[in-house]
Amino acid sequence: MGFTKSVEAQYVDDFDVPDSVYITRHKPNKATFYSSLVPGLGQYYNQKYWKIPIIYGGFTGLIYYASYNNYVYKKYRQEYKWATDDDPDTKSPYPAANTLRLKNTWRRYRDLCFIGIGALYLLQMIDANVDAHFFDFTIDKDLSMRAEPMLMPDYTDVTGNRTETPLGMRITVTF
């Protein structure tokens, strides 16, 4: 003797909510992820299109100067090698102390450009995250301040004396 029970689900048409009713939230994590994949993609996701040329202009300038500084660094590195070796065929017209100083200076400039590239990469990711947080933030045009006189209620002070009705000013800020 078996016990069987059939169950059927109830379906009500009122629970079908169209997709347009749901509010899609702008996700800061998604903007940060996009910016980490491709610089400027987070700004595109946030609809801040005007920032993309600035980002790529910054990367272009920093990469150009890193390449130029690396070229000059290699030139002075070779001059320093020629100035310090004992081979009479490879004499440098510059003193060894000067070439060493110039080599280190141009290497520092090159390294600073590489640090700048990394800083710009992180900065554009942070910018995409912050812009995504403020994506749904709106500022209404109803920013107002209203000041009006006001009568304060009577009260009894600490000694038990009843005070007169003081006049005051009520300031209301609406935003």
Region of 160 on the Ramachandran plot (φ > 0 left; ψ -120 to 50 alpha; else beta): left
pLDDT value, residue 91: 75
pLDDT value, residue 43: 94
What are the Cα distances from residue 14, in Å, to 9, 19, 24, 54? 15, 14, 21, 50
**pLDDT values of the chain reduced to their tens digit, one per residue, 175 residues:** 555 666 565 555 555 555 555 566 788 999 999 999 999 999 999 999 999 999 999 999 999 999 999 999 999 999 898 888 877 777 777 788 888 999 999 999 999 999 999 999 999 999 999 999 988 877 667 677 888 888 777 777 777 777 777 778 888 887 6
pLDDT value, residue 19: 56
Q: Which two tokens stand for residue 63?
A: 């990469």
Which residues are within 8 A (CB) of 164 and not within 5 positions of it... i.e. 6 or more apart?
154
Q: How far is CA 147 from the centre of its chain?
A: 39
For the chain, helix, strand, coil in percent to 5 are 55, 10, 35
pLDDT mean across residues, the chain: 84
Residues forming beta bridges with residue 151, ordered by sequence position: 167
Q: Is residue 76 within a helix (H) or strand (E), and if so which, with residue range?
A: helix 51-84
Kindly report the pTM of this predicted structure. Answer: 0.65
Q: Which two tokens stand for residue 162?
A: 């009843």
Name the nearest CA neighbour of 108 among 100, 119, 120: 100
